[in-house]
Structure 1
Amino acid sequence: MDVNFQFDWSAAIGSIPYLLPGIPWTLLISFGGLAIGFFIGIFFGLLRISPLRWLRWPAIVYVEVFRGTPILVQVLFIFYGLPQLLGGPINALVAGIAAIAVNSGAYISEIVRGGVQSIERGQGEASLSLGLSRSQAFRYVIWPQAFRRMIPPWVIRASSASKTPHCFQ
């Protein structure tokens, strides 16, 4: 085994002009998918804490399926499998954004669920005793506190975007 190996940087540096045109597309797909995933995550996260079982179970299935499968499998299914079901091709840009959106939406929904459930029960009870309705209590008391607790995991999730191994999430 040759211990004195020297890496040839000319191949890496020579490929930079070919990689630069992909940067705007990468940013578009990443930020587009994360923005859509943010709203998907809030929707399914709130469904996960619903007292109604028929609302909670589809959210549980969504989260478990999209957190339990690798994102590469999701990309391949959306790009190759979904056209078979829909009967027509899907644009690669749309497929990439959709894959990141559904994947990040599943993770963000768990952040939302955890953030809302981390607020002490007494906060809701106190707001109800002050005369607020359940929706007002959630909107004015529970959600602002939960949102503040959700910011650090959201920032970490957005910065790692699916690169973090499942054992660390």
Structure 2
Amino acid sequence: MKKIIPSRRTEKITYAVRDIVLLADEAARQGREMLYLNIGDPNKFDFHTAPHILERVFQAMRDNYNGYAPSSGIEEARRAITDSARSKGIDRIRDVFVTTGASEAIDICLTALINPGENVLVPCPGYPLYSAIINKLAAEPRPYYLNEDENWQPDLEDIASRIDEKTRAIVVINPNNPTGA
């Protein structure tokens, strides 16, 4: 069988959550009890889907409303998002693009914005997916620090000191994952 050689751009890609899970798996094999909080799966923590939500899903299936959606998202959902976001200046349905989740949205936004060789400021601590995608795009994730003593608020002087001519964007998340600030 011919060996498949991955592209060079994958050489710098790491994903901190997966690296930590590998360490946790090894500790579990050695008999240590682990509580995995890395995956947002409510079923693992005894949270069950509310009956009214299940009924809506079942009704959609009975109504044959369970095929592929339009690539930009279901128009009813896009219209509801537009109505909700109008106060933020988003007032055209064509400006709303529905994704399968935050990970896809982050990937699409960063891919549309960033060029190889640029840098993007990301919060630290922060959601590791940003750095993984930025590395995939041959750009530099540049951490800025959140001040724990000030409820994890960004240090504006630290941010300003990290900006240079190659800075393309600053990721600001509210609330920030993992701190909730």
TM-score by length of 1: 0.23
More strand by share: 2
More helix by share: 1
TM-score by length of 2: 0.22
Higher relative contact order (CA 8 A, sep 6+): 1
